[in-house]
Chains A and B, each alone.
Chain A
């Protein structure tokens, strides 16, 4: 195995693994930043740094790296790259070199993001980069702009590639209604990326133009408007949560169906109701991020209704998942534990989003730790659990070896307990008024105990993640050899050897009329 082969690879599986390694590295860095923040917040007043800017930079780095460097690349970079060609029985993606370009761009983006921590005056604009602050700060807003642009570009060319691949390269007999749920979900996510990333690109470019070239897009003294940025930003960044949500729920569908040895409950409802519904509604709800931003009243009320309506397709997706357990034959290996964990975390996160959809309730809840708790449940940790579930699930395929089941379960339970300690507490103090993005909470000192509990929880949760990652590293290096289809799945990616060779199958597969990716494999 030589390094040059890996760097210049055009094999979708290697590109995928490169994405995985990069995104796990970003996760590690962003996770360490989270621990630094939690350490800082463990007492009222300065704790580990006397300079608020340090905290603000950590928070910027944490948010931006977790979303743009970890979750989106892990889900639409690793899983999509690794699994989609295998699931549709293709030898590779439609444009393998473009694929290689996208992973290189991704690494450039990650490196830019990491430079934040060695450069003078790093960005301190939060991952949202709102003007006017982002245009007057001494922090380096350009760095933020370029990081977002490069990662966005990597994702767009990935999107073009995968839409083409699925449209034209499915195995003979593999009709649209036989696609894995994960493939549908990922297609939905890429459609969203293609439509909305350019808007984000525009927004972050305009703030740098304002700051460095003296334009006035967001400067009201010269006829600009600060709210325009917030609209542009969330016009992308709300759909972005579905770019995370759709693939992660897709991963969970694969796992739940496999470990229940069951067909997916009401497949067409899941695809045409759930996935299509989410895609259709996702662009009409961004104003729920601007409920206390001074938007026109009628817009705030109108988008309360569209936001609440999102509960319909999302509800259908949850019904499909729970329905797949019905009359199954369920076993509880590590991937399934994580998948059931996602179901639980997502249930809490989704339901606690309902008050946030209600404009008048949000007048109190917005910009507090309630929001931070909610979105960690629904996206951040649910998504992370799903990524961990998926890595465990496809681990035997990717590496040809098995991880350690015992330590897998131990890691899961530790993380699960820590997670709930941290994020439940966040929602609790948020309702009581604790604002987010606070380096020092000296006028809310009554929350010191709660903050200490969260710091403890964050350490516990971190230990669980470290156990999982060590489990992968050790398993990949010297785990026992894995069989080709350890979970006894019908889906095509398991029909080749582990790990699959370049080109995936000696003879590309075709499927019969009664083949279906779910249900116990027919021997």
Chain B
């Protein structure tokens, strides 16, 4: 993304005194900002925001319904006939209130979005080809796996995705991330595996055909040394496929 597009949300957020707290926290410590943590944070904020608005409206409505119910002495409505100034104010003020809430949410959302789309340079880069109905991964050294992706803890993982038939979607609920894969384009997503020994469900989230709901995979997080051992061993076992990686790379380069 361009520098300016990165700066605008910061300015907006600053204007509204709403710089995302999670971004500050991580900026001091490690350099990698985890989008999944950012997601959880922003989600909580937005839920609080909409809950407050919802409760305000609901309480006001409930109050009116009770207060102005029809009963002896209140047989006809007597709503105000607004003056021109009041009528305009009732447009301008709510518009301003809603717009500032929108901008606040948008600014935070935009920052997190940049986080989702900017992949740390030090990363493990995997080619993913989807097909009815499997996820086929290729590691940089040519190792291929199907419906299972072993990754080292603590290292960002980037998937470059394409599809050989219909639309599919590599959805990892635990990492709060998904993106479509499709023929003719290369899309990407990244995530930060953390917990050693943990398995994360991957599921297809775009309707791709009859067996769509059975299309699944998993991400297995290994300790870095454990991963290295597995990776080298598989690499020499599947050595013949190095060529395919080069092909793969060439193919992606020409498409993008």
Show the binding face of A for B, using Cβ within 8 Å: 52-53, 56, 124, 126, 130, 132-133, 136-137, 220-221, 224-227, 260-263, 265-266, 268-269, 273, 292-294, 297-298, 300-301, 304-305, 308-309, 311-312, 315-316, 318-319, 322-332, 340, 343-344, 347-348, 351-352, 354-355, 357-361, 363-364, 366-368, 431-433, 435-444, 519-520
Q: Which of B109-160 contact A (CB under 8 A)?
A: 109-110, 112-113, 115-117
Asked whether A312 lies within 8 Å of B99 as measured between CB atoms, the reply is yes
CB distance from B177 to the nearest CB of A (A): 6
Known: A126-B207, A347-B57. A330 touches B69 (CB 8 A): yes
Asked whether A262 lies within 8 Å of B77 as measured between CB atoms, the reply is yes
CB distance from A326 to the nearest CB of B (A): 6
Other A-B pairs, 7, CB within 8 Å; known A137-B209, A297-B117, A325-B68? A52-B212, A220-B184, A260-B77, A297-B113, A301-B5, A328-B64, A347-B57
What B residues does A130 contact at CB under 8 A? 167, 206-207
Show the binding face of B for A, using Cβ within 8 Å: 1, 5, 35, 38-39, 42-43, 46-47, 49-50, 53-54, 57-58, 60-61, 64-65, 68-70, 74-82, 87, 90-91, 94-95, 98-99, 101-102, 105-106, 108-110, 112-113, 115-117, 165-167, 169, 171, 173-174, 176-185, 187, 201, 203-214, 216
Give the contacting residue for B74; candidates A137, A292, A329, A354; CB below 8 A.
A329
Complex formed: what's the CA distance from A300 to B69 in Å?
46
Known: A361-B46, A364-B173. A441 touches B213 (CB 8 A): yes
What A residues does B207 contact at CB under 8 A? 56, 126, 130, 133, 437
Known: A269-B87, A351-B53, A358-B42. A363 touches B177 (CB 8 A): yes
What A residues does B1 contact at CB under 8 A? 297-298
Asked whether B57 lies within 8 Å of A327 as measured between CB atoms, the reply is no
> DSSP majority for the A interface?
helix
Determine the residue in chain A with the shortest Cβ distance to B211. A52
Known: A315-B98, A325-B64, A354-B105. A443 touches B203 (CB 8 A): yes
Give the contacting residue for A226; candidates B46, B117, B167; CB below 8 A.
B167
Known: A330-B68, A331-B70, A360-B112. A440 touches B213 (CB 8 A): yes
Asked whether A340 lies within 8 Å of B65 as measured between CB atoms, the reply is yes
Asked whether A132 lies within 8 Å of B211 as measured between CB atoms, the reply is no
Complex formed: what's the CA distance from A312 to B93 in Å?
11
Known: A133-B207, A292-B178, A364-B176. A326 touches B213 (CB 8 A): no
Complex formed: what's the CA distance from A360 to B112 in Å?
6
What A residues does B105 contact at CB under 8 A? 308, 354, 357-358
Known: A304-B110, A361-B42, A438-B212. A294 touches B79 (CB 8 A): no
Known: A323-B79, A354-B50, A433-B201. A221 touches B184 (CB 8 A): yes
Asked whether B184 lies within 8 Å of A268 as measured between CB atoms, the reply is no
Known: A220-B183, A364-B173. A311 touches B87 (CB 8 A): no
What B residues does A315 contact at CB under 8 A? 94, 98
CB distance from B86 to the nearest CB of A (A): 8
Asked whether B61 lies within 8 Å of A309 as measured between CB atoms, the reply is no
Asked whether B212 lies within 8 Å of A262 as measured between CB atoms, the reply is no
